[in-house]
Amino acid sequence: MAKLYDQITDKLQDFIAAQQIFFVATAPLSPTGHVNLSPKGLDSFRVLSPHQVAYLDLTGSGNETSAHLQENGRMTLMFCAFAGAPLILRLYGQGRVVLPDDAEWLVLSGLFPAIPGARQIVVAEIDRVHHNLRDGRAAV
């Protein structure tokens, strides 16, 4: 069963908080450019409001996400249940990067523990929330 929302509900926020890993996908406008899909984890994700989320981005791979967000802002965040009822949750929206020199950094960085390799915070305005849940399971 699939459900579509225009915001993150309290139950979906609880599901997000229980996940230890999530995925971020972005793509350039060019049809020959590469779609970037990255796993993220640790205690690095926050729901700021029903329409806004943020995650602490760490070094360790390239920075295509930032380049794609500067170009067009489009991003998808995905959470999967690895235990309990099967659920795939996708958050669609427009993202932007906050760097350590930006005015917002001090406030936003305070939402996360100090993690070595923190290079930026990605903030996304969420306009579509979609989840897939197998039939016969409790709805979220």
SS3 61: coil
**Could you tell me the residue ranges of all domains in the chain?**
2-133
Please report which confidence band the pLDDT of residue 135 belongs to, taking 50, 70 and 90 as the band edges. low
**Domain covering 2-133, topology:** Pnp Oxidase; Chain A (2.30.110)
pLDDT, tens only, 50-77: 999 999 999 987 799 999 999 999 999 9
Stated pTM of the model: 0.92
Q: What is the pLDDT of residue 71?
A: 96
C-alpha span between 71 and 69 (Å, rounded): 5
Q: What percent of the chain has pLDDT over 90?
A: 86
Other beta carbons within 10 angstroms of residue 67's beta carbon come to: 14
